[in-house]
Amino acid sequence: MSTRYLPTGWTLPAITPWNRPFFTAAQLLIQVCTSCEGAQHPPLDFCHRCQGHDLDYRAAAGTGVIDNFSVVHHAGSAMLKDVLPYNVVLVELSDFPGLLVLGNVVDEDWHERLQVGAEVRVEFAEVTDPDTGELLALPQWRLS
C-alpha cells in the first residue's frame, strides 16, 4: 500500500456494481466478457464488443508501460493547487495489450523519469470513502 497521490478529500470514484471489483480488490482486476473473451476498461455493465451482459474479472499481472501522460501545471480545482505540477498517465497493461488504465505515477522523482515507454507496476492506496464507509484500494503506478 502507498499513500494516495492526490490530496485527501479529492473526489473519489463513484462506485458501481461493475467497477466495485476494480476499486476495492487491492489487485488489478480487468473486466472480461465470458461470451466473446473481450477485455475492457473501464468496467461497464455490458460488453462494448458484443453487448453481452455476462462479465467476469480476471487478475492482471499489475505491470505495464506508460502509453502516454500529461503533466498538469494549472489546478482545475483549488484543492489541487498544493500538488502542482502533478502527472496523469495512461498505462498499457503488459498482459492485456491495447488495454489502457488511467492513473498517476507516485515516485517522488517522476519529474525526471516519467516518459512514454517507461515500465511501471501497480500499487494501491487505501482510502475510506467518507460518504459510504467503504474501503477502496485505488490503483496508482510506480516506475520500475
What is the pattern of x (binds Zn ion, CB under 5 A) and - over residues 110-139?
Answer: ------------------------------
Angle at 4 between CA 15 and CA 25, to 5 degrees: 45
Q: Interface residues for Zn ion in 28-57 (CB under 5 A)?
A: 33, 35-36, 38, 47, 49-50, 52
CA proximity to 89, closest of 101, 81, 77, 99 = 101
Q: How far apart are CA 115 and CA 19, in angstroms?
A: 28
Give the nearest distance from C-beta 92 to Zn ion in angstroms.
21
Q: By C-beta, is 17 or 133 nearer to Zn ion?
A: 17
Does position 21 interact with Zn ion (CB under 5 A)? The reply is: no
In 1-144, which residue ranges form alpha helices assigned H by DSSP? 20-24, 110-113
Give the nearest distance from C-beta 55 to Zn ion in angstroms.
8
Q: By C-beta, is 44 or 65 nearer to Zn ion?
A: 44
Q: How far apart are CA 100 and CA 71, in angstroms?
A: 18
Q: By C-beta, is 31 or 140 nearer to Zn ion?
A: 31
Q: How far apart are CA 11 and CA 68, in angstroms?
A: 23
Residues near Zn ion (CB under 5 A): 33, 35-36, 38, 47, 49-50, 52
